[in-house]
Amino acid sequence: MAQLCTSEDPDMFRSLLSRIGDKWTLLVIGVLGEERRRFTELTEIIPGISRRMLTVTVRALERDGLVSRTVYAEVPPRVEYELTALGRSLQLVALTLADWVSEHQHTIVGNRRSFDSDAREP
């Protein structure tokens, strides 16, 4: 319902929205949606992410129960992350979002271009 956006608890709504809307979360979910990965793999697959931000992101996802973290008592250490059932359900939503973006991104880029050029010359 659109009401969700306005009434009820906009804080909670926004809190979850900013979680998935932050810089890295959806990328991590997208990658983990394919298969479980270990820490260093993620840093290599996701372009530009730092170890710190990967740690922060993956901790937040674990806290929300979207990702599970498994530590193997080996040497060298190995830690694997994978989507939980809840995480996979979010991934489905994320994919519809990604579809929308891929379908309309060219339109939007064009809109921005014409808006910006209109603004310069009256």
Partner DNA sequence: CCGAATCCCGACTGATACTG
Partner DNA sequence: CAGTATCAGTCGGGATTCGG
Task: Give contact residues for DNA (rule: CB under 7 A).
Answer: 22-24, 38-41, 48-53, 55-56, 58-59, 69, 71, 76-80
When the beta carbons of 61 and 90 are compared against DNA, the nearer one is 61
CA 34, CA 41: separation in Å to the nearest integer? 13
Q: Which of 36, 51, 63, 78 touches its own copies (CB under 8 A)?
A: 63
Q: Which does 13 bind (CB under 5 to 8 A by kind): its own copies, DNA, none?
A: its own copies
Dig out the tokens for 69 from the structure.
């973290």
Q: Does 107 bind its own copies (CB under 8 A)?
A: yes
Residue 68 Cβ, how far from DNA at the closest point, in Å? 12
Cα–Cα distance for residue pair 39/55, rounded to 1 Å:
8
Partner from DNA, its own copies, none contacting 40, C-beta within 5 to 8 A by type: DNA
Q: Is 80 helix (H, G, I), strand (E, B) or coil?
A: strand
Evaluated on CA atoms 7, 108, 25, 37, the torsion sign reads positive
- Binder of residue 41, out of DNA, its own copies, none (CB less than 5 to 8 A by kind): DNA
CA dist 15 and 22 (Å) reads 11
